[in-house]
Amino acid sequence: MKNLDPRVDAFIAKSAEFAKPILIHLRQLVHTAQPDIVETMKWSMPFFDYQGPVCQMAAFKQHAAFGFWRATMLTDPYNVLNKGEEQSAGSLGRLTSLADLPSDEILIEYIREAIKLNENGEKGTMKIKDKPSAPKKEVEVPEEFINLLDANPVAEECFNKFSPSKQNEYLTWFAEAKTDSTRSKRIQQAMEWIAEGKSRNWKYQ
């Protein structure tokens, strides 16, 4: 395998014992599907990029997870994608052993389809109504924020548990940014705080 990131090695090494073989196997499959794919770390998770994000994996105390960046755009011919509301489970549900994974052939097919979406420049459509609960005061939800929540199941789960007023604090903060770069920096910072269960004004509470 090429284009390996030592930070991914470190992530796997510090994961729970049950998760290590799952993460190692998923990593190998991704590189088998596309040898030129590039590893990186985003929001403390291993990501695999090829002309944009393709998929990511994570490990928690009791389960591991694997997610596709544009899971909703995959055709899912074998009906293996998680369509439930438990976002922290990722695209394949809660993974506790290799037996929880679909066959290697199926996974490679899905990974290659996800790569094809990037090659074709597919951006997809984001359904805001299926994402964060709409606050009482109508505030635009940046597409960048929605995309990052999709890629970080821990942060998405935390954000969805926030009250509408706490969600609105973040969205208003984004909306008040005077430039795109400022808004992007605020969104990046928010992702770290949200993943830790912190509200926008946690420093003052």
Q: Which domain holds residue 135?
A: 128-204
- 43 vs 131, which has greater pLDDT? 43
Are 72 and 20 in a shared domain?
yes
Are 102 and 13 in a shared domain?
yes
Chain segment 136-169, per-residue pLDDT in tens:
455 678 888 888 888 888 888 888 888 888 888 8
Q: Where a domain ends, among 119, 137, 158?
A: 119
Whole-structure pTM value: 0.63
Chain segment 95-124, per-residue pLDDT in tens:
999 999 999 999 999 999 999 999 987 654
Q: Report the alpha-carbon distance of residue 136 to residue 106 in Å, rounded.
A: 43
Residue 109, judged by CB atoms within 10 A of its CB (0-12, 13-18, 19+), counts as middle
Are 198 and 103 in a shared domain?
no
Q: Where a domain ends, among 54, 89, 119?
A: 119
Chain segment 23-63, per-residue pLDDT in tens:
999 999 999 999 999 999 987 889 999 998 999 998 988 89
Torsion of CA 83, 45, 118, 133, to 10 degrees: 50
Mean pLDDT of 1-14: 91
Q: Which tokens belong to 102?
A: 């679909």
Chain segment 62-73, per-residue pLDDT in tens:
899 998 988 888
Are 133 and 109 in a shared domain?
no
Radius of gyration of the chain (CA): 17
At 119, the amino acid letter reads: E
Are 105 and 12 in a shared domain?
yes
Q: Is residue 1 part of a domain?
A: no
Are 140 and 41 in a shared domain?
no
Are 135 and 194 in a shared domain?
yes
Does pLDDT of 126 surpass 90? no
Contact 65, 95 (CB under 8 A): yes
Q: Is residue 88 part of a domain?
A: yes
Are 99 and 44 in a shared domain?
yes
Specify the number of domains making up the chain: 2
Q: Is residue 72 part of a domain?
A: yes
Are 23 and 115 in a shared domain?
yes
Q: Where a domain ends, among 89, 119, 149?
A: 119
Q: Report the alpha-carbon distance of residue 12 to residue 16 in Å, rounded.
A: 8
pLDDT of amino acid 129 = 40
